[in-house]
Each structure stands twice: as C-alpha cells, then as structure tokens.
Chains A and B, each alone.
Chain A
C-alpha cells in the first residue's frame, strides 16, 4: 500500500525517514493496512460516506443558494498520538486556557496587564470583540471560556505549536465523535487491539461544565443549547450535542425575558432557564444591547445575564482573547499571570500595527501567510507563496489602511500524514489538530481532537469550507 509513498522534506506523522520505517505507534496500523486491497478500501470508504450522509452528518456550504449539505470528507487512516506526547499537549493546553481566562478577567476588571505594559491598551480595546458592556461584570465562577478549541500544528521538527485559540463558538467536536464511531465500525479489531482512549464521554463532560455555572445551585439546573437555526453551517452539531446531553435545543424565538429572568416557551407555559450554551455570536445575542437588527437573539437577555440570573457559555466578550493580534501576546500572558514558561509555543507572528513588523510583512509576502485578525474558517487569508501579484497588492492596500486588522506568520510547513487520495493511492497531506478543552469545576480535555486534513495536494488550508477533510485521532493508553 505504501510502496509509492513520498515523504519528501516534511515532518511525517507516520514515517520516520526516507526508508520505510515508521514510528513504533504506527507499526500495527501499517500491518493492518498492508493486508487491505483496493476493493476493500473502496468498500469501507463507501460505507462510511453513506452512513454519514444518511445520518445527516453534514455541513452547509455558504454562498450556495440551494443550501446544499455536504459531508465533511473523512479519511480512513487514523492519526495516532502516543501517551507521552499527549500528556505534554494536555499540560500545555491547560496552562493556556487558565492564562486566557485570567487575561479576560483582568481586562474586564483591573487591567493589570495593560497597566504593567505587557499588552498595549490599544490592542485590547480595539479588538472587534472587546465588549465594554462586560467591564466590572463578575461572570459565574470567574470563567469566561468554558469551551475552547485550540488549533495545533507541527513544524518541520515535529514540535507542536499553537496556531490559534477559538474561544467564542468552537465547532467540530461532533465530527470528532462521529469519526470515532465510523472508525470503530470500519476497523473493529484493529481499534480494540490498539488501546485507544475513548472520547464518547464528551457530552457528559460538557453538560457537567454547563451545570457548574447554574445560578440556582441546589436545584436541577435547566440548561439549553441556543442555536442560530437550521441554516447555520454547524446546525448538525448543535442538534447532535443537545441530543447527546439530553437538553433542549432552542432558537432565540423560543426564549423570552421577563423581569430579568430568561424563560423558554413550552406547551405548558414558561420554564425558567439557568444556563445557555450559546452558539450565537455576541453581536446577535441581544438586539437591545448589540445589533438591533438581530432576528436570532433574545431581547433583554444581556440584562438577565448581567444580573446573574442566567449563565452563558461562553461568556460575552471572549472574542478579544482569540483575536489574532492578542494571540501574539499569549506567551507573555502565561509568564505574567502564571510565572511559567509556555509549554506549547506560538507560531512567530508579525503584527502589522507595529511599524517594523508591517515593513517586514510588506516586503516579504511570498514567505508569509497573512490573516485578518477577526476572521475564521480560513476566510480573509493570503497564502504568500501561492498568491498572485494582484492578491498581494490588494492585501498590501488593506494592511496599510487598517494595520490593526492584520497579522502575518511565516509559512509553517505543517506536518503531513498518509491519506487516501484518488485511485486509493496513499499520499502525504498536511494536517492540524484541534483538541477541545472544557473549563468547569475541573479542566477536562478529551484525549485527541479533530484532526483536519488539507485534501488538496500541497494545500495548507484544512478548513471544511476550503476543501478540508478529517481523520479520527487516536490517543493511546501507552
């Protein structure tokens, strides 16, 4: 199967060197795949795809009027992470989410990090998702980011680096869980023999995280998941999680605020809601406080929130922490708040609002990836090495106009992983890893994460909206 595999100059997750030797934790996988012929692979792939489509494990493609639903392409070769490696990742992520939460509490209260000159005030206050409404507000248990999806990549030496933190509405965990189900069905014995740590308790952990926030301790809290609605790209995930947690999935129109309390409208009248896992942007949450044209929000919900009568996860205003400019300061935050060195490093980042950085960016486009500070999903990006002159000029103009909005990073040649491509040939494709971190009574990270893979040859963009797929991620017991 692997006889034509080209490792090239990248860090490969499976192959050690130019010969065919693999890392020890990939040995069993290679033997198993080696026994498969083309027809068997095609058959397994077809079965997995059909099952995803029929179960509606799909996302909606934007800019397509027919609201076409597609399955998120799934690759049958799992990514495997040995225990020791995972433990480092786990410690690094734990350290990071603690620092990010301390940062959020700080900037909405004492602003120590600003006063001591670690992070410039301008960076914080000019972030698109900074919410002045949250100043001086105490959120339940002082936790802001309860659910975080942090994207990790590996560089040419195989070091794990943090690419970005998603601290508003991270998505993808449903694919992680469904991928696992699919793998268990496709390779039951291989899975059993490998000693893979399970992930299927995620919904229980999430529910526990939510219940921890209830403003009415002692009573069974009423938790709901607030979705933008069926036309949202992640709607499948919203229903998936609500179902697995056994809580109601509500839209804005199902909720109503009376005298500072939030209620849901049921066939038996109004029922008070304690905790809302909201998958709606801050902007749309409350037309009274934020965008007044929002049809998805709940008028008055911010009032109830500020009075402490309802908890929101994630808190309002967390977007300032996953701003791509703020990102550059996270290692400093870790040193400042925790007096520790970061366990997971950042990718080196140039900030266009610093004069010398901007100059460097403008002169070195072909070496850089330029990103808009507040976009996600792979939108608003310039891939320097493959960009056209026109694209570069366009970005240069935008950067000069609003430097605060842009950052740049050297092109990191993400690690590659053997992936089944056309005609069942196995080729190396670039991958990243998005673990999901839950911050409630404890900090819990389910072993693994969503491994996203850039299916197009040579591509470094793994987002589902840009031709990405995914793999199951196996964290081993040993």
Chain B
C-alpha cells in the first residue's frame, strides 16, 4: 500500500509530465511508453537499469559492463552492449535514446537528424542532482513509481548523513595522471556530505584539475583518497601511485581507496563513497 505523501508526490510528478508534454517540454509522447530504449552513456546506463521495467531497456554502452567505471557492471552483461556509433544505434530501431549531454554530440545530432527521440542528461555535479535525475529518468521511461521510491530513499539517506556533525578533517582526491576533483564537482559534494573539507578546493582548484604531487604534499590533507588502481596491466598514468614521495607522505596520515565507479556517475552508490570517507575520518588509520 502506498503511503499518503508518497502518493501525493507521484501524483504531482505525474501531473508535471502531463503539463510538460502539453507544453512540449518532454519530447517523449506522454502516453506511449518507450519500449526499445538504448542508452549511450555510462551514467544514463546505470540510471536506466535501476528505473526501467524488465524488457524496456534494449542496450547499454559497453562501459556499463566495465567494473572499473560502472557500479552495475554485473547487471549490464544482461543487455546488448553498444559502442555508441550512430549507425549501430539506429540499426537497433530504438524509440528512445538516452545520452549524456557532453560526450556524444555528433552521434546525438545524427540520430536526431534520423528522427530518433533523444533525451540528454547532464552529468551530476551535486548530490541534489541525483534524485532529480532519477525522477527525470522515471518520467522519460514512464516509471515514476519506481523512480520516486529510489529518489526518496536517496534523499532520506543523504539527510541522515548530513545530520551528522562535521569531522573537521580535510581530504584530497588523487587520481591517475595526478588529477584531482576541485570545487563544483560531484566529488566535492561527496566530501562535504562526509563532513569534511576538500583540500583541492581550498588551494583554489575547481572542476577536474591537475594536482602535481608537490602541491598535494604541500597542501597536506588529513586523508588522501586514491582512485583507479583498477587495471591489471600497467600504464604510466598510474605510476604516480607508486612514487616514493607519495608512499612516504601517506605513511604519515590516513589514506583510503574509493573506487571511481562510485564517483564517476551520480547514483545511489554515490552515497557509499561518502560513507567510506566518513568512516576513515572517524575511525582508525585507513587502508
């Protein structure tokens, strides 16, 4: 049985779809549910897998099946994997294509030119974007109830996390190729939700930015968050993790590894990253 506020919310969002469809805001026809949905972006892949009803989602991108970047890699194997070329996607005869708003411009334009309906999702850059995107996915797939349940659960968990007192500690993310996440990124929001401050932000970095090892050491965050050891074969990009200066630096403070699949896309798993950070800040020396 549905509880009252829940019912109200889904009624409201249902009405929004109706109004939006009349105004032409949502390009999917409001009354015929898309049945052949193809997703081209690792983030829309995961949202769609969570929200769609069985059989509705036809294909997800090959990245969705890569455990290094996708939190739902296991589930993604059940779908046809696409490599994002317009030709390949068009041959699947989709009635709805889901895409990220930055990466696949030419493919999206080509598909629209061929008369395919495309819904674009901008990447989440704050935690509030996540329930918003989940609800929007519910609208375009006409699965509002499922989406509302997920979004509501996310909001409740986020509220519980944010109600905890600040830890007073700082953290800095250190990725392959010496990249970090500065202000205005999803990672920045995750750090804040964990009750910490982002060291990369107070040394003036915003967006995904280059953080030389020297600057990381001089900034001296309490917790160093390492990402992306996930690949078996070596590359120079990950050589920075093996640098003796980093090893010495980490020895004298806390460090933790947060898998990139939790932070690349906004989704329910994103809060898991915040919980990991919180646990390191509160607990003993991390791993």
Question: Is chain B a partner of chain A in the same complex?
Answer: no
- What is the interface of chain B, defined by CB distance below 8 A to chain A? none
